[in-house]
Amino acid sequence: MLVRFWGTRGSIAKPGLSTVRYGGNTSCVELRSSSGTLVVLDCGTGAQDLGQALVSSGTSPLHGHMLIGHTHWDHIQGFPFFEPLFKSGNVWHVYGPRGVGTSLRESLAGQMQSIYFPITLKDLGATLHYHDLVEGTLEVGDIRVTTQYLNHPALTLGYRLEADGVTVVYSTDHEPHASPRGGIEAPLAGQDERHARFLADADLVIHDAQYMASEFPAKRGWGHCTVEYAVQAAVSVGVRRLALFHHDPMRNDEAVDRLVAAARDLVAQARGATEVFAAAEGQVLELNRSSAVRPWVESREETARTDPALNLSVRSVLLAVADPLVGQTLGDAVTYDGLRLVRVQDGNAIPSMIRSERFSLILLQHGLKDFDALQFCRSLRGDPAAIDRDLPIVLVRTEESPAEQQAEAEAGVTDWLIWPFSEEYARTRIHAWVLREACRWKSAALPADEERRLLALHQSGVLDTEPEERFDRYTRIAAALFDVPIALVSLVDGDRQWFKSRRGLDASETDRDRAFCAHAILSNEVMQVPDALADDRFADNPLVTGEPRVRFYAGAPLSLGDGRPVGTLCVADHRARNLDEGQLQLLSDLSKLVERELQKNPSAHMS
Ligand SMILES: [Zn+2]
Ligand SMILES: [Zn+2]
């Protein structure tokens, strides 16, 4: 694997005599796997030279992947100057963290509005594909990429890239969660330990090292870390090489040299084996499969890409804090981007509230009257039946206390916010916690005899035919009988569900992977989902979180005569409901009538 630094500076470009050796351009790193997959990490001003080099290499058309950590200027300013984007025939995939309310594409387009720049995003000649990311894993060519949120005032992702038996982690613009210490005495804990695990056993870690611990107190909240923290994290998890990165614009070459010397001293003190250097513009590293490769333990199954229909505004945050000013700041932070806020003063009401509504996050504080926060955490985590067992719980503290926080972590606290903090700071952290559980819903398994089932459905000739009264009368009856706004005759095709008859729904089909009916055809019984928000299979299904806002569903399977369900007669509501035995029987009875129509030759009814 080949790594080349095109920009190593943080915050603002700093060309000049004082930065000749380490470089003045802002963040941009080129990475290539041995099979030729091209990845560009961040698109700061260094990307201009990289673009020129790629174009003059003569490769045409050019295919590449651009991974953006976040959209602060120093990471995207080279984007409008990256020449490969101007040439038609070139194809670029651009990845970055999914913002709240704003897509990656919109963020990039923002800096190219005509008052800032003469060419707009849509004038670029290359074909661009945008991918909004959350935490998870994705494949980029032959490179496996894992993402993890960093601690920064804008939503920021770190990237762990694995290919050719080599691991590189790109982790810049990250502030320690706990106050960074000068030395390496105490082990990292909580979220800082999680961050270190993200770097574990890497051959190369490119890490934010903008400040020294002595400078840090004045820079708290700016979202950057200290050399000491970067070294500590890297040494603690056996990183082989650590590239100090995102050099402060105030630091000249000699000052960067001193940083490197201090870092090497720390490694020696800790008896670590990590080789430390400061990333320099133009520097090229060739990384080969190391003999001591260990696979990364933390394998993540979930995909890092988000569903574009994912709607955060329906996500709820439960806020239970005693201090009015803390409550005000957090309340504003939650509602700013449209997350739903539920406040509770009486902590003892929390257990029943989380049974009645699905929350994405709980913000708690000690000191609520007659309420033991830790006892609550323990009982929630220990209850195997609780749907929200894994719900993130964040505790607001007025000071750090490693011993107490250790006990809190054992009780099930996910993370901490240390008061005082700004609303902006709280907002970014809240987004990261909420986005972390972005995709919980599951698409249905395929029936065992899927091929024959599809063959029968296609041979029936009913798919994509015009609406017919003989079906519509049943959806009309079902809607009235069960007093629901939505009733459908749905047929589950290879990758879609198509509606032969629909009441209360505009779309004539939806993707199969989000279809309730795809679950319902797995059995010959009526399937009822009394409350989709309380059902793990559907809680954040886009049909639940967005239009048509399905909360209740009941579907009776329809077959073509051989007993294999091909679709359903189903009803749905925006409210939670529960049909009793008698009603479920009626739905089943009605479905038998629809089934009779389905089994008739459709051409006989064309008129
Ligand atoms: Zn930056
Ligand atoms: Zn930044």
How far is Cα 176 from Cα 256, in angstroms, rounded to an integer?
A: 21
Q: pLDDT tens digits for 275-288? A: 999 999 999 999 98
The predicted structure's pLDDT at residue 423: 85
**Mean per-residue pLDDT of the chain:** 88
Name which of 70-84, 179-193, 469-483, 582-596 the model is least confident about: 179-193
Give one word for 20, left, alpha or beta, with left for phi > 0 and alpha for psi -120 to 50: alpha
**Tokens 């430390």 appear where?**
276
Exposure letters 237-265 (e unless 16+ CB within 10 A, then b): bebbbbbbbbbbbebbbeebeebbeebbe
- Specify the higher pLDDT residue, 606 or 101: 101
The predicted structure's pLDDT at residue 181: 64
The predicted structure's pLDDT at residue 432: 80
Residue 596 near residue 574 (C-beta atoms within 8 A): no
Dist. CA 74 → ligand 1 center (Å):
5
Number of C-beta neighbours around residue 36 at 10 A: 10
211 band by pLDDT with thresholds 50, 70 and 90 = very high
> Which amino acid appears at position 326 of this protein?
V
Dist. CA 97 → ligand 2 center (Å):
13
Supply 30's token pair. 């080129």
For range 177-184, the mean pLDDT:
69
Ligand nearest to the CA of 75: 1
Dist. CA 23 → ligand 2 center (Å):
19
Ligand nearest to the CA of 222: 2
Q: pLDDT tens digits for 360-415? A: 899 999 888 889 999 999 988 887 666 566 788 999 999 888 889 889 989 999 88
The predicted structure's pLDDT at residue 306: 56
For range 76-92, the mean pLDDT:
95
Ligand nearest to the CA of 246: 1
For range 213-241, the mean pLDDT:
92
How far is Cα 199 from Cα 270, in angstroms, rounded to an integer?
A: 17
Answer yes or no: is pLDDT of 454 > 90: yes
Answer yes or no: is pLDDT of 604 > 70: no
Dist. CA 246 → ligand 1 center (Å):
7
Dist. CA 53 → ligand 1 center (Å):
24
Dist. CA 24 → ligand 2 center (Å):
17
147-151, 180-184, 255-259 — which one is most confidently predicted on average? 255-259
Residue 305: DSSP 8-state: B
Ligand nearest to the CA of 150: 2
68 closest CA partner among 142, 131, 144: 131
Dist. CA 180 → ligand 2 center (Å):
19
131 band by pLDDT with thresholds 50, 70 and 90 = confident
Give one word for 141, left, alpha or beta, with left for phi > 0 and alpha for psi -120 to 50: left
87 contacts: CB under 8 Å, gap ≥ 6? 55, 60, 61, 62, 125, 126
> Which amino acid appears at position 363 of this protein?
L
Answer yes or no: is pLDDT of 168 > 60: yes
Dist. CA 118 → ligand 1 center (Å):
24
How far is Cα 348 from Cα 353, in angstroms, rounded to an integer?
A: 9
Answer yes or no: is pLDDT of 93 > 70: yes
Name which of 123-127, 309-313, 405-409, 524-528 the model is least confident about: 309-313
Dist. CA 26 → ligand 1 center (Å):
8
Answer yes or no: is pLDDT of 308 > 50: no
Q: pLDDT tens digits for 540-560? A: 787 887 778 898 999 999 999
The predicted structure's pLDDT at residue 104: 84
Dist. CA 138 → ligand 1 center (Å):
24
The predicted structure's pLDDT at residue 428: 81
Answer yes or no: is pLDDT of 111 > 60: yes
How far is Cα 302 from Cα 231, in angstroms, rounded to an integer?
A: 30
For range 197-214, the mean pLDDT:
95
Burial status of residue 60 (CB atoms within 10 A of its CB: 0-12, 13-18, 19 or more) = exposed
Ligand nearest to the CA of 223: 2
Answer yes or no: is pLDDT of 67 > 60: yes
Helix or strand (DSSP H, E) at 340 = strand 340-343
Q: pLDDT tens digits for 322-361? A: 999 999 999 999 988 778 899 998 888 888 888 777 788 9
The predicted structure's pLDDT at residue 52: 97
245 closest CA partner among 16, 54, 47, 11: 11
What is the DSSP secondary-structure string of 517-544?
HHHHTTSSS-EEES-GGG-TTTTT-HHH
The predicted structure's pLDDT at residue 436: 65
Dist. CA 341 → ligand 2 center (Å):
28
Dist. CA 26 → ligand 2 center (Å):
11
Burial status of residue 13 (CB atoms within 10 A of its CB: 0-12, 13-18, 19 or more) = buried
19-23, 175-179, 349-353 — which one is most confidently predicted on average? 19-23
**Tokens 């879609």 appear where?**
496
The predicted structure's pLDDT at residue 533: 73
The predicted structure's pLDDT at residue 387: 58
Answer yes or no: is pLDDT of 293 > 50: no
Kind of pairing, strands 28-32 and 509-511?
A: unpaired
Q: Order across the sheet with 496-503: list the strands.
A: 509-511, 496-503, 486-492, 565-573, 552-559, 527-529
429 band by pLDDT with thresholds 50, 70 and 90 = confident
Dist. CA 242 → ligand 1 center (Å):
18
Dist. CA 155 → ligand 2 center (Å):
9
